[in-house]
A and B are shown apart, each in its own frame.
Chain A
């Protein structure tokens, strides 16, 4: 049997080209076949996070629970008017954000109206995001949910813990015409009505949450003050 010379230049080049083509095909094929499943998972996970901000967790059927509690997906425009979102469910808000339109989810929990606002920001190692739910008065926090991609476990990652998120309940958002809801250095809370203790050892992540709250909620001031 003739032994192929595996070290010749032409063989090496042809081999490398064939490998590249085969791998590219394999990966593209896998991606196309799995994409619908993945998108469905991402959508379900986003809905689960919105429900978590409404203090609803451990649901078996996320899609059904979402349809039950979240009534309207609206977009707030710069002039203060609300438009119903007709673009389907978004897991990523950057497109509308860049058009200066901000999502508001109007929900109905046990007969009370709640509003959920998506937040996104920057932590220490990567992006952080979350959802804040306000009561009908558009000022009192009903619930909060935060998550992150790669913050330090035990430190910055604690923003995803129920204990940290629970501290935001019943706090107020607006203070003197600006967003007063904030995260301060651990142990330095002055005004319990607006401030939450940051995470000891997770200063930069805590500051990230603080900046995220101020930046994102400021976009909705016209909605908060417009009763």
Chain B
């Protein structure tokens, strides 16, 4: 019986935040990183929603793992995730309507986010509930971290604002010739920024580089 905060649990939580980051190292969940990062606010909400859903889906599947027939394993995982996301979406629509309008399309996309299926298969199916919870939280927060970095750059350089607050749209700055970079608002820019983050992370951590 492992302790509450044993090394294994701490590792399950902290490694996805850095060395095993779902987006930059596992290369999962890229699509939603393009879609919601034009502005910082939806990125934060999306990151938190995914964290909550991955953590609880991990726990539920981990509790069920001994009972799931092998042949319908993937389908059962999908059903659990889809139910969880639908319930979260309905609760948002009932109690946080403005947020749910902004996220409307994307909440459904969480179901297809590869990070979920990836962690359920790789971790929850073979570990206990408490470890799975920490693994889910770690991966979700690692994902949220990258989303926030990308959204920060895209909103600041693309619209000159942060969280809706005006940062760069002042006369004195415009007079120097500075213009908001429209390219930042386009989806491909999110991929380019993620690529830069991957580049930075790999040059700092030699062990992430493959031997060629």
User: What are 23 A-B pairs with beta-carbon distances under 8 A?
Assistant: A6-B66, A6-B67, A6-B69, A7-B70, A15-B72, A15-B76, A16-B72, A23-B83, A27-B86, A30-B91, A34-B91, A34-B93, A34-B94, A38-B94, A41-B94, A42-B97, A150-B105, A153-B38, A153-B39, A154-B38, A154-B158, A154-B182, A154-B185
The answer to whether A149 touches B38, judged by C-beta atoms less than 8 angstroms apart, is no
Inter-subunit contact B94/A37 (CB<8 Å): yes
A38–B90 CB distance below 8 A: yes
Chain B residues whose C-beta falls within 8 Å of the C-beta of A41 in the assembled complex = 93-94, 97
B25 beta carbon closer than 8 Å to chain A: no
Question: With A15-B68, A26-B87, A27-B87 given, is the CB distance from A37 to B95 under 8 Å?
Answer: yes
- A-B CB pair tally, cutoff 8 Å: 62
Other-chain contact of B69, A7, A23, A45, A153 (Cβ < 8 Å): A7
Question: In the complex, which range does the number of interface residues on chain B fall in?
Answer: 20 to 34
Kindly state whether residue B104 has any CB partner on chain A within 8 Å: yes
Closest to A4 in B: B67
Give the shortest distance, in Å, between A34 (CB) and chain B (any CB). 4
Interface members, chain A 5-25 (any B CB < 8 Å) = 6-7, 11-12, 15-16, 19, 23
A91 at interface, CB cutoff 8 A: no
A: number of interface residues (CB 8 Å): 24
State the majority secondary structure of interface residues on B: helix
Q: Which residues of B contact A (CB under 8 A)?
A: 38-39, 66-72, 75-76, 79, 83, 86-87, 90-91, 93-95, 97, 101, 104-105, 158, 182, 185-186
* Cross-chain contact B72 with A30 (CB below 8 angstroms): no
* Distance in Å: Cβ of A206 to nearest Cβ of chain B: 17
Asked if B79 and A12 make an inter-chain contact with CB atoms under 8 angstroms apart, the answer reads no
Given contacts A23-B83, A153-B38, contact A15 B69 (CB under 8 A): yes
How close is A85's CB to chain B, nearest CB, in angstroms? 24
Of the candidates A12, A19, A31, A45, the one whose C-beta lies within 8 Å of that of B97 is A45
User: Chain A 25-63 against B: per-residue CB contact (8 Å), 1 yes, 0 no?
Assistant: 011001100100110011011000000000000000000
